[in-house]
């Protein structure tokens, strides 16, 4: 287990950075302030120790240990659990990578549990330390800093998705064969982003209803409103991406059908031409075959004009077929 953060703040100023959980527990009992403990992939025993010290509900602890696929908010007595889904756009592979962040919030503590290496919550608290007036507002003010970091990190993700969509729109009319597959994959990425992060806006809004802080503290209320507005805008942008990709899938299917139709028409024209020439060549072949049977008693066999007449008949019939096929646009 990596103890990514362990700080105690008094009146908005960091007064201690314990080196272990035991030291943090002892200092918390001795000092009257706000404790922040950051855990990275803790084992069950460590989670239980933290839960016992801070009185965390067992249900919340199980959620942090087992994970949760979507952003959510839970409230039990004076403890708040927020599950956040930070995201990062991976250029190599053009995909979105999600992590999971559990935040336990109490009257005098804030505990973060991560199972991935982003976001860097220690950097969030370093920024907060530069603004002691925020930390004086309590754990909820620190929580707004985490929310702001998570929603701000969504911006590069949406920018990456926008770039991918622009590329797909260009590829659609170039007739590239793999554009449908790429569009479908990107559509799934956008859906995953919406499922993971969509409830964040409602989660922030619910904090206004479940905690007294936003109603009595204008600083916290303002920061929460900023995060809520940003999350709502990002949600709408992702929904717009989803609509664009659905239209791109429909357009891709239409263009593919048109290309297949055009190919089929060309093939039919070629078949018609081949069939027409085959019929034209079949007539003289048929006549020549009949007169090439070498039977003793055949019509016009000893007639002087029989041979020229047979040639003329083959030419006339072939010419007649050629004219007929030409009129019907088979040739």
Dihedrals φ, ψ of 13, to 5°?
A: -115, 135
Is the pLDDT at 295 greater than 60? The verdict is: no
Is the pLDDT at 141 greater than 50? The verdict is: yes
Judged on CB neighbours under 10 Å (0-12, 13-18, 19+), 10 is middle
- pLDDT value at residue 243: 86
Q: How confident is the model at residue 262 (pLDDT cuts 50, 70, 90)?
A: low
pLDDT single digits (tens) 53-81: 888 888 888 888 877 767 788 877 778 88
Is the pLDDT at 177 greater than 70? The verdict is: no
Is the pLDDT at 238 greater than 50? The verdict is: yes
Greater model confidence, 316 or 39: 39
- pLDDT value at residue 249: 76
Is the pLDDT at 211 greater than 60? The verdict is: no
- pLDDT value at residue 214: 44
- pLDDT value at residue 156: 92
- pLDDT value at residue 116: 85
Q: How confident is the model at residue 260 (pLDDT cuts 50, 70, 90)?
A: low
Considering only 128-142, 174-188, 191-205, 206-220, which range has the smallest mean pLDDT?
206-220
Side-chain half-sphere of 241: how many Cα atoms within 13 Å?
29
Is the pLDDT at 215 greater than 50? The verdict is: no
For residue 174 the two structure tokens come to 């170039």
Mean pLDDT across the stretch 111-131? 87
Q: How confident is the model at residue 112 (pLDDT cuts 50, 70, 90)?
A: very high
What mean pLDDT is reported for the chain?
Answer: 80
Q: How confident is the model at residue 263 (pLDDT cuts 50, 70, 90)?
A: low
- pLDDT value at residue 298: 61
Is the pLDDT at 149 greater than 50? The verdict is: yes
Considering only 52-56, 236-240, 325-329, which range has the smallest mean pLDDT?
325-329
- pLDDT value at residue 296: 60
Considering only 149-153, 212-216, 265-269, which range has the smallest mean pLDDT?
212-216
């Amino acid at each position: 287990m990596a103890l990514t953060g362990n700080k105690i703040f008094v009146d908005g100023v960091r007064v201690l950075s314990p080196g272990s959980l035991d030291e943090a527990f002892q200092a918390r009992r001795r000092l009257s302030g706000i404790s922040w403990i950051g855990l990275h992939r803790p084992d069950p025993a460590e989670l239980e120790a933290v839960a016992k010290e801070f009185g965390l509900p067992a249900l919340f602890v199980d959620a942090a240990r087992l994970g949760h696929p979507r952003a959510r908010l839970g409230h039990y007595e004076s403890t708040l659990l927020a599950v956040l889904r930070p995201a990062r756009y991976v250029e190599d592979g053009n995909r979105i990578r999600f992590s999971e962040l559990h935040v336990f919030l109490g009257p005098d503590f804030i505990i973060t549990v991560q199972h991935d290496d982003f976001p860097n919550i220690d950097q969030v608290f370093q920024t907060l330390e530069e603004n002691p007036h925020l930390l004086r507002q309590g754990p909820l003010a620190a929580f707004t800093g985490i929310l702001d970091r998570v929603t701000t990190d969504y911006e590069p993700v949406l920018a990456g998705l926008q770039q991918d969509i622009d590329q797909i729109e260009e590829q659609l009319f170039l007739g590239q064969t793999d554009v449908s597959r790429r569009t479908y994959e990107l559509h799934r990425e956008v859906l995953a982003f919406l499922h993971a992060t969509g409830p964040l806006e409602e989660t922030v809004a619910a904090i206004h209803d479940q905690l007294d802080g936003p109603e009595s503290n204008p600083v916290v209320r303002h920061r929460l409103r900023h995060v809520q507005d940003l999350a709502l805008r990002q949600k709408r942008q992702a929904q717009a991406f989803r609509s664009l990709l659905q239209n791109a899938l429909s357009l891709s299917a239409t263009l593919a059908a048109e290309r297949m139709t055009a190919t089929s028409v060309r093939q039919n024209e070629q078949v018609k031409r081949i069939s027409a020439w085959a019929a034209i060549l079949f007539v003289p072949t048929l006549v020549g075959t009949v007169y090439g049977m070498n039977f003793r008693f055949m019509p016009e066999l000893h007639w002087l004009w029989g041979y020229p007449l047979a040639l003329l008949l083959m030419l006339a019939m072939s010419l007649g077929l050629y004219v007929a096929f030409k009129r019907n646009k088979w040739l």
